[in-house]
Amino acid sequence: MKHSALFLVAAVLVTGAFLLDPIAQDPAYHLFADTRQFLGIANFWNVVSNVMFLYAGIRGLQYLSAGDASGILPSLIPAYRVFFTGVLLTAFGSAWYHSEPGHDSMVWDRLPMTLVFMSLFSIVLGEHVSESFGRQILLPLLLAGAGSVVYWSLTEGRGAGDLRPYVLVQFLPMMLIPLILLLYASCFDRTGFFWGVIGIYAAAKLFELFDTNIYVASELISGHSIKHLVAGLAPLLLLRGLQSRRAKQPVPPGPRS
C-alpha cells in the first residue's frame, strides 16, 4: 500500500510536469542584484559565498574516509560519497557561473547539483524503503540528473529550451522525500535532520527568489549570496546527523564501495 501511494504521487508529478509547455530559461535569471567587483573578481559576493559548499563537501568526504561511518549503511556509502562530492563540485561550478553568468557556464553550475539531488534521493530510498533498491537506483538516477542538464542545454542551444526534466530532477526528490519519511521507518534512531535539510533548501530558494529585495533593503548583501550560505548549511546538518545517530539494531556488514 505504501509503495503504491509513493508510486502514484511520483507518477502524478512526472505526468503533470510533462503536460506543461516546454520551459525555457529566462534570460533575466542571469541578472543578479549584486554585481560588485572586488580583487578583480566580478560578482564577488555571489562567487565567494560558495565557500560554504566547499567547506561542507570537504568535511563530508573527510568523515567518509575516516572509516568510522557507523551512522551509514555500508552499501549506501557510495551514494554518500557522490553526495558530498557533488556538494564540493557545486562550489566550483557555481563560482564559475557567477563569475561569468550565462548559458554555457550554467551547465557546469547545474551538473554537480544533480549529483546532490539524485544521490540524496537514493540515500533516503535506501534507508527507508529498500536498501537494495536505493543502492541499485543510484546510477540510473545520476544518469537521469546529468541527462536533464544536457537535454536542457541542447534544446536551449536550438532556441527551444526545455527545463522540465531538470525541474523534475531538482524538485521531485524534495517533494517525495517528506512522503517517504512519513510513510517508512528507518533503521536508525534519528532521521529528523532530513527534515532540517528540506527546510534549509526551502529557505534557500526563498532567499534566491527575493535576491533584489534583500539587496535593496540591506544595501550590504543580496538574497542570492545568502542563498549560497544557507544552502551550504544543509550538507553540514546532514553530516552532523550522520555523526550523531546509531542503528536501532546492529547493521550487517556490506559492500562499502
CATH code of the domain containing 129: 1.20.1070.10
- Give a yes or no: residue 38 inside a domain: no
Q: How far is CA 70 from the centre of its chain?
A: 23
**Position 64 in a domain:** yes
* Digitized pLDDT (tens) for each residue of the chain, 257 residues in all: 788 888 888 899 889 888 888 888 888 889 999 999 999 999 999 999 999 999 999 999 999 998 777 889 999 999 999 999 999 999 999 999 999 999 999 999 999 999 999 999 999 999 999 999 999 999 999 999 999 999 999 998 888 889 999 999 999 999 999 999 999 998 898 889 999 999 999 999 999 999 999 999 998 999 999 999 999 999 999 999 999 998 876 555 544 44
Cα 136 to Cα 140: distance, rounded to the nearest angstrom:
8
> What pTM does this model have?
0.92
Give a yes or no: residue 114 inside a domain.
yes
In a domain, 19, yes or no: no
Cα–Cα distance, 119 to 86 (Å, whole number)? 9
20 lies in some domain: no
Exposure b/e, 208-221, CB count within 10 A at least 16 = b: bebbeebbeeeeeb
- Find out whether 9 and 179 touch, Cβ atoms under 8 Å: yes
Specify the number of domains making up the chain: 1
Residue 10: inside a domain: no
Judge whether 13 lies within some domain: no
Domain span at residue 225? 44-244
Q: Is residue 54 part of a domain?
A: yes
